[in-house]
Amino acid sequence: MLYCEIKNMNTKDLFLFCTRWAFGIWLVYIGAMKFVGGIDAYMAYMTGMFASTWVPPMLVQTMAVVIAVAEPVLGLMLVRNIRPRFTWVLVTCLMFTLTFGLTVLEQYPMVANNWQYLILAIVAASMSDPE
Output the DSSP codes for 59-125: HHHHHHHHHHHHHHHHHHHHHTTSSHHHHHHHHHHHHHHHHHHHHHTT-HHHHHHHHHHHHHHHHHH
Return the pLDDT at 7. 82
80 within 8 A of 25, measured Cβ to Cβ:
no
2 lies in a domain? no
5 lies in a domain? no
Return the pLDDT at 58. 95
Return the pLDDT at 91. 98
Residues 8-26 have a mean pLDDT of 94
pLDDT in tens, 35-77: 998 999 999 999 999 999 999 999 999 999 999 999 999 999 9
57 lies in a domain? yes
Range(s) of the domain holding residue 87: 12-127
Q: Any idea what DSSP says for residue 43?
A: H
113 lies in a domain? yes
51 lies in a domain? yes
78 lies in a domain? yes
7 lies in a domain? no
In the structure, what pLDDT confidence band is assigned to residue 3 with cuts at 50, 70 and 90? Answer: low
Instruction: State how many domains the chain has.
Output: 1
Return the pLDDT at 8. 86
